Structure 1
Amino acid sequence: MNNRWLEIEVFTRVAESGSFSRAAQELELSQPSTSRIVTGLEARLGVKLLLRTTRNVALTEAGALFLEKARQATADIEDAEDAVRGIDSLRGTIRLAVPIVYGTRAIIPALPRFLERYPELRVEITMRDERQNLVSAGVDMAIRMGTLEDSTFGARKIASVERLLVAAPSYLAKRGTPRTPEELTDHDTILHELGSPGKSTLVLLKEGTAQKVTLRGKLKIDAAPGVLAAALAGLGIANVTTIMSEQELREGKLVRLMSEYELEPLKAFAVFPSGPRPSTKVQALVTHLISALAN
């Protein structure tokens, strides 16, 4: 293998995994060889790319810049290979980060047909609700819900997800069932936004008229499974998605509230840390997800 491409591959795996030993294992190299290759790259460039401690490895500012460019160069090479082989011969690994509930109930169920079509592809999935640093996490694509923060990342909308208000029968038996937006202010709400000061603003639509309501709650949870569990436990009213709650609604464990009112749908986006032009295999996955989720 060309020495420069070996350097890029080794450096990228060390930077993404945060470990020389883990990168060496993945690349089937010895740890001394892995360390020597990265040290040689730093010497050739004349800059420090990684800060090494006894426990982990961190990128320097120069290292973060080099990692970004290295990923783009690798993606360009992969695109060139894919172009020669043809779209039906995609191969390699897609590293994907997804929220827990949406990933479990929407993204993963859509993957079988995709992997059947591209048998040479592998998908590695990280599942968490907090918005991690996608560059340091080493992912090719992330699924994010709601409003996107300003960034240099590329993004594409893949779906709109219906939202609704729900509560457990046990909660409604104790506190009554709200019929109007005004009545919601007298109820306990399970808040999902940890940054909110004990309250959340909700916009409800009815016959084209919007009404803004400030909801208050004693309980804040930063992950969707916790919000769902709290609602099932009768701890208050929850603002959830249909995908998140459809099974519980069918089984009668949750009750939909104020169905004559609409909530603004939650948008799901595919986000690309490498920029607005993702690799061919990532583009293929996005196209598949848009079609699968629409159905």
Structure 2
Amino acid sequence: MKDIAALKLYTRVARLGSFSAAGRESGMSQPQVSRMIAELEQELGARLLSRTTRAVVPTEAGKAFLLRIEAILAALDEAGQSVREGGEFHGMLRLSMPTSFGIHVAIPRLADFAARHSRLQIHLELDDRRQDLVREAVDVAIRIGALPDSASATARQIALVSRVIVASPAYLAANGAPARPEDLAGHRIIRGAAAANPLAWTFERDGESIAARVQPQFTTNDNEGAIVAAIAGLGITSTGEWECRRALEDGSLVRLLTDWTMADVPVHAYFPMGRNTRAAARALIDHLRDGIAADGRG
């Protein structure tokens, strides 16, 4: 088990590019991490890492070793899971997803999964930005919107999100409501991170399609901020239906252009480690997908 711990530690140093950062993750000091890696290199008879004053990077031998070791560690995790009593997962599972999805969809559905796997630690990064998932050791990330072709082989669609146009009653009382998509050009627009296109919102009705050009007067990198801005009366925003459902129900937001539809937005689970993805990550995504489908959301 000591050898496995050293191998896991090496993968984190290599991915993070730092002995100190890997040490903080594992509760070890920088000298302890450095010593364990040095012992591993001595045992292998190869230099795995190149140490400079600015960074720690894998050597060519270290890169090849990293790819093989990550696959082996994933296989060991699978093997342990296959014989573990009750099929309970353990260890650390790292997730990453946009703030709104985490708050409104994922977190409310995690209680049952966490209860069944009480030895599993779940670390959730809520961030609308797309960080370096491999470097941060993220097991699975939620991505909203179209994925690049290079990601399709390691992604799985779990839901479709209905988009809506909303504004506050106060804003509408002062500025009126748009009757057609083209009328949006005369309104103040709020753009959040979930906006699929900053320049145009596309609507359809009875075979007619209109791409309404919009010029945001208020932008934010957090979609929750865009919803709060709309509630505060700063303007009109486009967002996922699930994200503003409560505000629509309590009347703090009003849905606009209800006789027009916008294209649904796909929600994918993205596995940065591909076939080396841990079983716990796949099981959690199954749990979320089934929960979303049962509630009729998306």
TM-score by length of 2: 0.86
Partner Cα separation in structure 2 for residue 15 and residue 30 of structure 1: 17
- In structure 1, the residue corresponding to 2:289 is in which secondary structure? helix
Map 1:127-166 → 2, pairs under 5 A: 127-151=126-150, 154-166=154-166
Q: Distance in 2 between matches of 1:29 and 1:129?
A: 31
Aligned residues: 291
State the match for 1:189 in structure 2: 189
Q: Are 2:180 and 1:167 equivalent residues in the alignment?
A: no
Cα offset for 1:46? 3.7
Equivalent position SS for 1:114? helix
Separation in 1 of the partners of 2:51 and 2:173? 58
| 2:91 equivalent to 1:95 | no
Q: In 2, are the aligned partners of 1:88 and 1:117 still within 8 Å (CA)?
A: no
Alpha-carbon RMSD across the aligned residues, in angstroms, is 2.8
Corresponding residue SS for 1:263: coil
1:75-125 residue CA offsets vs partner (Å, 9 max, x unmatched): 111011112236733222211011111101110111001112222222111
CA distance in 1, matches of 2:27, 2:214: 54
Deviation at 1:141, TM superposition (A): 0.5
1:228–1:245 CA contact under 8 A, matched in 2: yes
Partner residue in 1 for 2:262: 263
Q: Secondary structure at the match of 2:105?
A: helix
Shift of 1:148: 1.1
Q: Post-superposition shift, 1:58?
A: 4.8
Amino acid at match of 2:172: L
Deviations 1:218-273 (A, max 9, x none): 22222112211221222211001112111111121111101111111121111101
* Partners of 1:68 and 1:274 within 8 A in 2: no
Which amino acid letter does the alignment assign opposite residue 216 of structure 1?
Q
Contact map agreement 1:166 1:231 (CA 8 A) in 2: yes
Aligned ranges for residues 26-37 of structure 1 at < 5 Å?
26-27=25-26, 29-37=28-36
User: What secondary structure does 2:148 align onto?
Assistant: coil
CA distance in 2, matches of 1:195, 1:284: 30
Distance 1:83 1:193, change over 3 A: closer
> Is 1:281 the counterpart of 2:277 in the alignment?
no
Residues 36/277 of structure 1: CA separation in 2 closer, same or farther (3 Å cut):
closer
Query: So what's the TM-score if we normalise by structure 1?
Result: 0.87
1:1-295 mapped onto 2 (5 Å cutoff): 1=1, 3=3, 5-15=4-14, 19-21=18-20, 23-24=22-23, 26-27=25-26, 29-42=28-41, 44=44, 46-49=46-49, 51=51, 53=53, 58-60=56-58, 62=60, 66-85=65-84, 88-151=87-150, 154-192=154-192, 199-276=198-275, 278-294=277-293, 295=295
CA distance in 2, matches of 1:292, 1:238: 27
